[in-house]
Structure formats: structure tokens, C-alpha cells
């Protein structure tokens, strides 16, 4: 059973039933799901979770979902959402200068290779229960892919709203599922505003509008998995990319819940990384300001290009209260971050991953993260979706005739490979 | 200098269902005061107890976020189209 009791306003505390609703009717603040953690703690123990299948539903009591039997449509099986690797990263650790480093690798989350599969799994489970036949979202790409794929798996119709300048891979990986893709001549914040207006007119389940309180809960599974994979402990620090700020906020909340349940203890400094060309949250953190000042995004990290982050206020609060910090990375640093992660650990992340690696390097260099502690980097999406970001990184590929002599000539004449990344990053 | 302000669906129960309100006030603070005067129940929805606009809604002027136009300093112009929208927008 679910231990979700209802929705509560994060600002004024007003409570609401578990039903589609975007924000508080009194003060407009975001809503969050409240659980009966005491009852949950009596009913569930980490040992029982350990015996369950390796996907995000192993934490189902901590999500606002009903038992499968209560759902009008069967939950799609075989999508293998969540329980992504927490990969030790010793070579990247040496490059960054930290003792103990892990990559939480949602670049290999299924079915669409980003952490958004987690949030959409919860949102669409709720959409079915609430009786929506049409689901929609505003997206910078990863959410689009996840909604399109999982809507198809559930037999739901989907409308996906994105900025027009989306990467080709993200466009095709939305349309292939039969989703209706609506590209808008504007940036994400303008697309999001339009979806807000649409939500007032049409009886749709919009995953990041009226399903948002439920959708956001899926991000907590990143936190649960990190703690469980570390043997029910927290890393000393964690770096997470920030777009709307929801993932970071929910990782903080996930850790809080595990503390309240007594399943893990101690502190973890939660740090955020943004692109320098879209840094409303990291700017607020660095300035010690509680106000998030919106920006017009200009960055190759298009999945993070949200100039008016809906959860920015709470992400900054989470960073502050956990003793974390925030950094931002230029386009060059983002590409260098993608390359060093790929070259040292064999993980090809999208631009947001480059932001995270570059941000972590700066946070370690400035002493905001202890180099003698343990550190987890959250890699939220796959590099195959943002190939254009690295397309200009390599010389024209040489094509050889199929003769041994030509290959030997090539080997002896070969120039040293691309400059060492350490030099580029210095 | 009249301009139209569109009220979001979740707040229309405080405007007797009225979706578009014509306002005259020259700036954001004035507009919120004018709306609050006409529809007293809107006041606590739109303003903190100390009178500042609440954090979680946005105001758009001709589709641009008013914070990019000078925010509280912006002077409304004749026939501006003003939209109030929760930052996580939408009704049920």
C-alpha cells in the first residue's frame, strides 16, 4: 500500500487531497506529497527492499502510487526504470582531486536514457488513476522522450511542447513513439507559460503542471538508490545538475526521509551545477540571495536552459541548509567535462553531465567540497542525445585504404592525439 | 491608459468568474492594489501580509515576463496585455 496521505503546500502548509493540482490555491507555491512515515517505518525495512526487483518500484511505499491491482491499466512491465549503476570512478577522481568518487549513472536509465523516466513513471501511473486519457508536458527534450515513450507503453495519447531549437535526436526520439510534438518559437520558459495557460483550458494531465506534485516524487528514487547502493549511508557530498531545481530539491527530501525512517544517518552536502549561460539558481546561492532572478538562457546545455526555475527557490534552500554550494560552467568547460568523464570512466553524458563534472571540479578546487571525503556526481542524461555539442571536437576522420602498409605509415606519422584534457581545463 | 489583466483560472472564484479585468494603475504595485480593491479576496492571494507581491506567481506583459521589463519600475502602456500566472501554472 501507499503511505501517501495527501498534498501539502510547501510555503503556507495548506493541505489538499491526492488529486491533480499544480500549486497551492492560497499562495501558488508548489505542493508536495505527505507520507505517514511512522506507519511506513513499522511496515517496511531495508532488508525487504533488498529482496525486491532492481527497479525504482522497490521504493513504492515512498511514492504516491497505488497497488497495481487498483490501477485501471496494468503498469507496463519490462521498462526497467531506475536502479541505475552507482559506478566507482577512480580515474575521474584522480583528475578532479577527490578521494572517493561515484557516478550515479542515469545516462543508462530506461526506457529513454535519462532520469526523467523516473518522474514520468510516477506521473503517468497517477494520470491513469486520475482518469486522464491525454497526457502532455513542456520539455527541453529528456522529459519529452520519457513522456512520449511511456505514454505509448500505456496506450495514452500525448502532446509534447518544446522550444523549436531542440537537438535532432531529442525531436526524433519523441516523434518515433507517435507523440504529437508541438514546437514553439520561443525558449523553455515561454513554452512553460503556454502550457500553464493550456492547463486551465483542457482536461489533460500535464506532467509538469497539474501532475507536478506527483511527477516530482519520482526524483526521490535517485536519493534512495544512492543511499542503498552505498550500504545505507550518504556520500559526504553530492553534485547534481540544476534546470528547474526539482531533482536537487527532491534528492534532499529523499535523504531527509531516510533519516526520518532511521535507515541512514549523517549529513550530505548537496551541491548544484548550472551552465554559466543559464545560472539563476547558482547566482542566488553565490550571492546569498533568497530571490531567484530570471535569466534569458544562452548555453549549449539546452536541457538545463530554464531561465525561470519553478523550484529554484527550494533548490537554493536545500543547498544552503545542507552546507552545499553551487557552481556554473562555461560552454567550453561543459564540453571538457563531457570528454573527461567519457575518457576516464567510459560514460558518455549529455551536456548536463558536462555541467556536473565541471561544477564538481570547481567546487573541489575552491574547497567547497572536501577532497578527502566521498562524492557522488549525478549524471542525468545520455550523450547520444546531444551529439551536436561535441561534433566540432575532433579533426576530420582519416580514411585509409585497406592495406597494411598504409596503416603502418599512418601509425608512424600519427600526430599526438587531442591535447590532454588536463591542459584544456587548466 | 486602460489595459487588460487576465486572471488565472484558480483565482476566478474570487472575481465572480471574470477572466479579464480592465486596470488603470501605472505600475505593478498599483495594479495589484487596484485588483485587490475591486476584489478584496484577491489581495491575500496576490500579496504577502506586508504587501509585497507573492513569490510564486509571474506577471507577463505582452507575453514577456515583467521582471525582464523592469519589474516594479515598469510603467504600463495603453492596450498592454497583462497576464497573471502561477509560476507552476494551471488549474485542476
Q: Which of residues 6-45 of B touch A (CB under 8 A)?
A: 8-10, 44-45
pLDDT at A419 over 70: no
CATH architecture for residues A86-113+218-389: 3-Layer(aba) Sandwich (3.40)
Instruction: Give the pLDDT confidence score for residue B91 in this predicted structure.
Output: 37
- The reply to whether residue B90 touches residue A308, judged by beta carbons under 8 angstroms, is no
- Mean pLDDT of chain A, nearest integer: 93
What is the nearest CA distance from A295 to chain B, expressed in angstroms? 8
Nearest CB partner across the interface for B91, out of A29, A30, A199: A199
User: How confident is the model over A103-109, as a mean pLDDT?
Assistant: 98
For residue A420, what pLDDT is reported?
A: 46
Query: In three state form, how does the secondary structure of chain A look?
Result: CCCEEEEEECCCCCEECCCCCCECCCCCCEEEEEECHHHHHHHCCHHHHHCCCCCHHHHHHHCCCCCHHHCCCCCCCCCCCCCCCEEECHHHHHHHCCCEEEEEEHHHCCCCCECHHHHHHHHHHHHHHHCCCEEEEECCCHHHHHHHHHHHHHCCEEEEEEECCCCHHHHHHHHCCCCEEEEECCCHHHHHHHHHHHHCCCCCEECCCCCHHHHHHHHHHHHHHHHHHCCCCCCCEEEEECCCCHHHHHHHHHHHHHHHHCCCCCCCEEEEEEECCECHHHHHHHHCCCCCCCCCCCCCCHHHCCCCCCCHHHHHHHHHHCCCCEEEECHHHHHHHHHHHHHHHCCCECHHHHHHHHHHHHHHHCCCCCCCCEEEEEECEEHHHHHHHCHHHCCCCCCCCCCHHHHHHHHHHCCCCCCCHHHHHC
Q: B58 — contact with chain A (CB < 8 Å)?
A: yes
pLDDT in tens, A20-76: 998 898 888 899 999 999 999 999 999 999 999 999 999 999 999 987 666 777 777
- pLDDT (mean) for A79-96: 96
Q: What is the pLDDT of residue A73?
A: 75
Position A232 confidence tier, pLDDT thresholds 50, 70, 90: very high
Whether residue A313 and residue B55 make contact (CB cut-off 8 A), yes or no, is yes
pTM metric for this prediction = 0.94
The model's pLDDT over A371-389, given as tens digits with 9 standing for 90+, comes to: 999 999 999 999 999 999 9
> B9 to chain A nearest CA, in Å?
6
Q: Using a CB–CB cutoff of 8 Å, tell me whether B55 touches chain A.
A: yes
Residue A5 has pLDDT above 80, yes or no: yes
Split at pLDDT 50, 70, 90, the class of A418 is low
- What number of C-beta contacts closer than 8 Å exist between A and B? 83
User: Binning pLDDT at 50, 70 and 90, where does residue A416 land?
Assistant: low
Separation in Å, CA of B32 to nearest CA in chain A: 14
pLDDT at B52: 83
pLDDT at A241 over 50: yes
**Topology (CATH level 3) of domain B3-86:** Ubiquitin-like (UB roll) (3.10.20)
Task: Output the pLDDT for position A72.
Answer: 72
Give me the residue spans of the domains in chain A: 86-113+218-389
pLDDT of residue A423: 47
Domain locations along chain B: 3-86
Chain B CA closest to residue A12: B48
- The shortest C-alpha distance from A284 to chain B (Å) reads 15
pLDDT tens for each residue of B36-56: 999 999 988 888 888 788 888
With contacts defined as CB-CB under 8 Å, which chain A residues touch B65? 189, 294, 308
Average pLDDT in the B7-17 region? 90
Chain A partners of B59 at a C-beta cutoff of 8 Å?
Answer: none
Across the range B58-64, mean pLDDT stands at 93
pLDDT 10s digits, A193-212: 899 889 888 999 999 999 99
- Using pLDDT thresholds of 50, 70 and 90, give the confidence band for residue A422: low
Q: Could you give the ipTM of this predicted complex?
A: 0.87
Amino acid at each position: 500500500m501507499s503511505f501517501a496521505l495527501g498534498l501539502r503546500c510547501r510555503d503556507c502548509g495548506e493541505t489538499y487531497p491526492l488529486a491533480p493540482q499544480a500549486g497551492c490555491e492560497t499562495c501558488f507555491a508548489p505542493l508536495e506529497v505527505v507520507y505517514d512515515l511512522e506507519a511506513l517505518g513499522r511496515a517496511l525495512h531495508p532488508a525487504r527492499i533488498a529482496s525486491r526487483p532492481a527497479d525504482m518500484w522497490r521504493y513504492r511505499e515512498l511514492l504516491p502510487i497505488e497497488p497495481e491491482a487498483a490501477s485501471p491499466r496494468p503498469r507496463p512491465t519490462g521498462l526497467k526504470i531506475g536502479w541505475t549503476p552507482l559506478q566507482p570512478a577512480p580515474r575521474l577522481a584522480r583528475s578532479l582531486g577527490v578521494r572517493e568518487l561515484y557516478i550515479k549513472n542515469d545516462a543508462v536509465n530506461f526506457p529513454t536514457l535519462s532520469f526523467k523516466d523516473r518522474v514520468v513513471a510516477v506521473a503517468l501511473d497517477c494520470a491513469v488513476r486520475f482518469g486522464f486519457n491525454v497526457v502532455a508536458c513542456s520539455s527541453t527534450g529528456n522529459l519529452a522522450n520519457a513522456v512520449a515513450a511511456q505514454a505509448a507503453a500505456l496506450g495514452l495519447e500525448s502532446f509534447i511542447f518544446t522550444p523549436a531549437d531542440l537537438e535532432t535526436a531529442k525531436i526524433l526520439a519523441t516523434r518515433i513513439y507517435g507523440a504529437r510534438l508541438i514546437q514553439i518559437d520561443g525558449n523553455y520558459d515561454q513554452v512553460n507559460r503556454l502550457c500553464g495557460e493550456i492547463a486551465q483550458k483542457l482536461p489533460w494531465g500535464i506532467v509538469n503542471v497539474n501532475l507536478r506534485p506527483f511527477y516530482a516524487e519520482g526524483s526521490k528514487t535517485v536519493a534512495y538508490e544512492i543511499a542503498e547502493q552505498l550500504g545505507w549511508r550518504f556520500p559526504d557530498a553530492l553534485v547534481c545538475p540544476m534546470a528547474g531545481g526539482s531533482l536537487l530539491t527532491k534528492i534532499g527530501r529523499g535523504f531527509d526521509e531516510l533519516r526520518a525512517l532511521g535507515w541512514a544517518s549523517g549529513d550530505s552536502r548537496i551541491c548544484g551545477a548550472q551552465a554559466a549561460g543559464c545560472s539563476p539558481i547558482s547566482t542566488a546561492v553565490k550571492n546569498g540571495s533568497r530571490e531567484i532572478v530570471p535569466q534569458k538562457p544562452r548555453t549549449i546545455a539546452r536541457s538545463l536552459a530554464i531561465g525561470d526555475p519553478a523550484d529554484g527557490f527550494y533548490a537554493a534552500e536545500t543547498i544552503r541548509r545542507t552546507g552545499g554550494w553551487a557552481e556554473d560552467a562555461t560552454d567550453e568547460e561543459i564540453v571538457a567535462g563531457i570528454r573527461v568523464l567519457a575518457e576516464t570512466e567510459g560514460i558518455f553524458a549529455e551536456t548536463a553531465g558536462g555541467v556536473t563534472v565541471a561544477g564538481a571540479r570547481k567546487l573541489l578546487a575552491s574547497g567547497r567540497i572536501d577532497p578527502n571525503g566521498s562524492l557522488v556526481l549525478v549524471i542525468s542524461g545520455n550523450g547520444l542525445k546531444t551529439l551536436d555539442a561535441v561534433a566540432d571536437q575532433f579533426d576530420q576522420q582519416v580514411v585509409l585504404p585497406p592495406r597494411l602498409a598504409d596503416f603502418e605509415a599512418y601509425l608512424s606519422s600519427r600526430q599526438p592525439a587531442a591535447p590532454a584534457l588536463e591542459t584544456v581545463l587548466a | 491608459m486602460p489595459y487588460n489583466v487576465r486572471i488565472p483560472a484558480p483565482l476566478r472564484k474570487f472575481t465572480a468568474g471574470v477572466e479579464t479585468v480592465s486596470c488603470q494603475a501605472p505600475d505593478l504595485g498599483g495594479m495589484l492594489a487596484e485588483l485587490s480593491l475591486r476584489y478584496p479576496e484577491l489581495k491575500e492571494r496576490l500579496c504577502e501580509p506586508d504587501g509585497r507581491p507573492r513569490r510564486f506567481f509571474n506577471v507577463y506583459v505582452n507575453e514577456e515576463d515583467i521582471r525582464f521589463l523592469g519589474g516594479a519600475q515598469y510603467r504600463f502602456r495603453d492596450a498592454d496585455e497583462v497576464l497573471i500566472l502561477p509560476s507552476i501554472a494551471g488549474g485542476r
